[in-house]
Structure 1
Amino acid sequence: MKKVISFIIAIFMIVECFYPLKASAEDKITSSKAIEIAKSSFNLNTEGYNLNQNYIETNNRKVYELNWYSKKKDGGSIYVSVDAKTGEIINMSMWDGSTYTPRKIPKYSKSSAKAAAEEIVRKLQPDKFQKIKLIDNVNNIYDSDYYSDVYTFYFIRIENGIEVSDNGITVSVDKNSLKIRSYNLNWDNIEIPDISKVIGIDEAKEIFKEKLGLELSYSMSYNANSKKNTPILVYSLKNGNMPIDAFSGDIIKNGYYTPYINGLNKEDSKGSSQAGNLTVEEQKVIDVSSKYISKEKAIEIASKYLPLNEKYKLSSANLYSNNNNDTALWYLYWENSDPSAKIYNYMNAQIDAVNSEIKSFYYGGSDFDQPAKDKKPLYDKEKAKKIADDFIMSIYPDKFNQIEYKETNDYYAFNEENYVPSIYYFTYIRKTDGITYNFDSITVNVNTYTGKVTGFSMNWSNNLELPSKEGVIDIDKAYDILFSKLNFSLKFVKCYDYTKIDNQPKIKLAYVLTPFSGNMDAKSGSILDYSGNPIKIQKTPEYTDIKGNPNENNIKLLAEIGILKGTDNKFRPNDNILQKDFIKLLILSIDPYSYTLDDSYETYYEQAVNKKIISEKEKNPESEVTRQQAAKMIVKALGIGFVADITNMYDISRFKDGNSISPEYKGYVAISSELKVINTNDSYIYPLKSVSRGEAATIIVNFLNVNTDSKE
Structure 2
Amino acid sequence: MKKSRFLGVFIAGAIIFGSLSPAFADVDNSIVTMYEQQQKKARISKEKAREIGIKKIKDTFGIDVRDFDENINFGPYMENYTWNLSFNKYNDKETKDFFIAIDSNTGKIKALSKYEYNYSDENKEPTISKEKAKEIAKKYIDKINPDKLSQIKFIDEVNYDESSKPRNYYFRYIRTIDGVEFDSNYINIDVDAVNGKVIGYSYSWSEDMDFPKIDNVISKEEAEKLFSENIKINLNYINQFDFKSNELEKLKLVYNYRFENGNMIDAKEGKIINWGYNKEKEETKDIYKSKKEEILKNAKDKSKLEKELNKEEAVKLIKKKIKEFYNIDNMDLSYLELVDNNNFNKVWVADFGKKDNKGYIKDGGSITIDALTGELVSIGKWNNEEKPNEIFTPKLTWDEAYYKAIETIAKYFPEKIKDIKTEQIKYPMTYKFEGKEIPVRYVYFNFPRLVNGVEYYYNNISVSVDVKTGKVNELNYFWDDKVEFEGIDNIINKEEAKKVFLNENKPKLMYITINTNEDYTNPKYETKLIYMFSPVDLAKPVYEIDAHTGKALNPNI
Q: TM-score range by the shorter chain?
A: 0.5 to 0.7
Using the TM superposition, give the Cα deviation of residue 35 of structure 1 relative to its aligned residue in structure 2, in angstroms: 7.8
Select which of 234, 258, 266 maps to 1:245. 266
Alignment CA distance shift 1:174-1:114 (3 Å):
same
Opposite residue 121 of structure 2, the aligned amino acid is T
Task: Find out whether 1:400 has 2:422 as its counterpart.
Answer: no
**After the TM superposition, which residues 152-301 of structure 1 pair with which residues of structure 2 at under 5 Å, given as runs?**
152-172=170-190, 183-189=201-207, 190-205=209-224, 207-208=226-227, 213-222=232-241, 230-238=250-258, 242-246=263-267, 247-254=269-276, 290-292=306-308, 294-295=313-314, 296-297=316-317, 299-301=319-321
TM-score when normalising by structure 1 = 0.52
Residue 361 of structure 1 is matched in structure 2 by 379
Alignment deviations for residues 176-213 of structure 1 (CA, whole Å, 9 cap, x no partner):
77666665432223222333333444554455466552
Alignment CA distance shift 1:173-1:362 (3 Å):
closer
User: Which one is further off, 53-62 or 206-215?
Assistant: 53-62
Alignment CA distance shift 1:135-1:319 (3 Å):
same
Alpha-carbon distance in 2 for matches of 1:236, 1:524: 14
Structure 2 gap segments, 5+ residues each: 1-42, 45-50, 279-303, 536-540
Alpha-carbon distance in 2 for matches of 1:253, 1:411: 19
Structure 1 or 2: larger strand share?
Answer: 2
Using the TM superposition, give the Cα deviation of residue 249 of structure 1 relative to its aligned residue in structure 2, in angstroms: 2.5
* Secondary structure in structure 2 of the residue aligned to 1:350: strand
Using the TM superposition, give the Cα deviation of residue 460 of structure 1 relative to its aligned residue in structure 2, in angstroms: 3.2
CA contact (8 A) 1:38 1:89 kept: no
Using the TM superposition, give the Cα deviation of residue 165 of structure 1 relative to its aligned residue in structure 2, in angstroms: 1.3
Structure 1 gap segments, 5+ residues each: 1-22, 25-30, 257-287, 537-712
* Secondary structure in structure 2 of the residue aligned to 1:438: strand
Alignment deviations for residues 374-394 of structure 1 (CA, whole Å, 9 cap, x no partner):
852222222222322333334
* Secondary structure in structure 1 of the residue aligned to 2:463: strand
Using the TM superposition, give the Cα deviation of residue 93 of structure 1 relative to its aligned residue in structure 2, in angstroms: 5.1
Alpha-carbon distance in 2 for matches of 1:80, 1:328: 43
Alpha-carbon distance in 2 for matches of 1:444, 1:483: 36
Alpha-carbon distance in 2 for matches of 1:390, 1:359: 16
Task: Find out whether 1:335 has 2:360 as its counterpart.
Answer: no
TM-score when normalising by structure 2 = 0.64
Alpha-carbon distance in 2 for matches of 1:51, 1:90: 19
Residue 325 of structure 2 is matched in structure 1 by 305
Task: Find out whether 1:450 has 2:454 as its counterpart.
Answer: no
Alpha-carbon distance in 1 for matches of 2:99, 2:487: 58
Alpha-carbon distance in 2 for matches of 1:346, 1:336: 7
CA contact (8 A) 2:240 2:252 kept: yes
Q: Alignment RMSD, CA only?
A: 5.3
Alignment deviations for residues 674-710 of structure 1 (CA, whole Å, 9 cap, x no partner):
xxxxxxxxxxxxxxxxxxxxxxxxxxxxxxxxxxxxx
Alpha-carbon distance in 2 for matches of 1:371, 1:81: 30
Using the TM superposition, give the Cα deviation of residue 446 of structure 1 relative to its aligned residue in structure 2, in angstroms: 1.5
CA contact (8 A) 2:223 2:270 kept: no
Alpha-carbon distance in 1 for matches of 2:336, 2:74: 51
Alignment deviations for residues 393-440 of structure 1 (CA, whole Å, 9 cap, x no partner):
344444334422332658995549823122211222333554222222
Using the TM superposition, give the Cα deviation of residue 309 of structure 1 relative to its aligned residue in structure 2, in angstroms: 0.9
Residue 673 of structure 1 is matched in structure 2 by none
Alpha-carbon distance in 1 for matches of 2:512, 2:163: 25
Opposite residue 493 of structure 1, the aligned amino acid is I
Alpha-carbon distance in 2 for matches of 1:36, 1:316: 46
Residue 521 of structure 2 is matched in structure 1 by 501
Opposite residue 166 of structure 2, the aligned amino acid is Y
Alpha-carbon distance in 2 for matches of 1:374, 1:493: 34
**Identity score, percent:** 22
**After the TM superposition, which residues 24-39 of structure 1 pair with which residues of structure 2 at under 5 Å, given as runs?**
none
CA contact (8 A) 2:396 2:467 kept: yes
Alignment CA distance shift 1:169-1:495 (3 Å):
same
Alpha-carbon distance in 1 for matches of 2:73, 2:468: 44
Select which of 467, 479, 500 maps to 2:498. 479
User: Which one is further off, 339-348 or 455-464?
Assistant: 339-348
Alignment CA distance shift 1:477-1:92 (3 Å):
closer
* Secondary structure in structure 1 of the residue aligned to 2:403: helix
Residue 532 of structure 2 is matched in structure 1 by 512
Residue 377 of structure 1 is matched in structure 2 by 394
Alpha-carbon distance in 1 for matches of 2:349, 2:94: 51
CA contact (8 A) 1:349 1:360 kept: yes
Alignment deviations for residues 625-656 of structure 1 (CA, whole Å, 9 cap, x no partner):
xxxxxxxxxxxxxxxxxxxxxxxxxxxxxxxx
Alpha-carbon distance in 2 for matches of 1:335, 1:63: 37
Using the TM superposition, give the Cα deviation of residue 222 of structure 1 relative to its aligned residue in structure 2, in angstroms: 4.9
Residue 481 of structure 2 is matched in structure 1 by 462
* Secondary structure in structure 2 of the residue aligned to 1:479: helix
Using the TM superposition, give the Cα deviation of residue 215 of structure 1 relative to its aligned residue in structure 2, in angstroms: 0.5
CA contact (8 A) 2:305 2:374 kept: no
Alpha-carbon distance in 1 for matches of 2:257, 2:186: 29
Alpha-carbon distance in 2 for matches of 1:473, 1:342: 58
Alignment CA distance shift 1:253-1:231 (3 Å):
same
Alignment CA distance shift 1:211-1:52 (3 Å):
same
* Secondary structure in structure 2 of the residue aligned to 1:146: coil
* Secondary structure in structure 1 of the residue aligned to 2:138: helix
Alpha-carbon distance in 2 for matches of 1:290, 1:156: 63
Residue 548 of structure 2 is matched in structure 1 by 523
Residue 291 of structure 2 is matched in structure 1 by none
Opposite residue 272 of structure 2, the aligned amino acid is D
Q: Which has the larger radius of gyration?
A: 1
Residue 366 of structure 2 is matched in structure 1 by 348
Task: Give the aligned length.
Answer: 456
Using the TM superposition, give the Cα deviation of residue 103 of structure 1 relative to its aligned residue in structure 2, in angstroms: 4.6
Alignment CA distance shift 1:356-1:133 (3 Å):
same
**After the TM superposition, which residues 635-654 of structure 1 pair with which residues of structure 2 at under 5 Å, given as runs?**
none
Alignment deviations for residues 234-271 of structure 1 (CA, whole Å, 9 cap, x no partner):
11335699444333533323399xxxxxxxxxxxxxxx
* Secondary structure in structure 1 of the residue aligned to 2:352: strand
Alpha-carbon distance in 2 for matches of 1:172, 1:331: 42
* Secondary structure in structure 2 of the residue aligned to 1:465: coil
Select which of 403, 410, 416 maps to 1:386. 403
CA contact (8 A) 1:162 1:492 kept: yes
CA contact (8 A) 2:241 2:249 kept: yes
CA contact (8 A) 2:431 2:437 kept: no
Alignment deviations for residues 586-619 of structure 1 (CA, whole Å, 9 cap, x no partner):
xxxxxxxxxxxxxxxxxxxxxxxxxxxxxxxxxx
**After the TM superposition, which residues 104-119 of structure 1 pair with which residues of structure 2 at under 5 Å, given as runs?**
104-105=124-125, 109-119=129-139
Residue 267 of structure 1 is matched in structure 2 by none
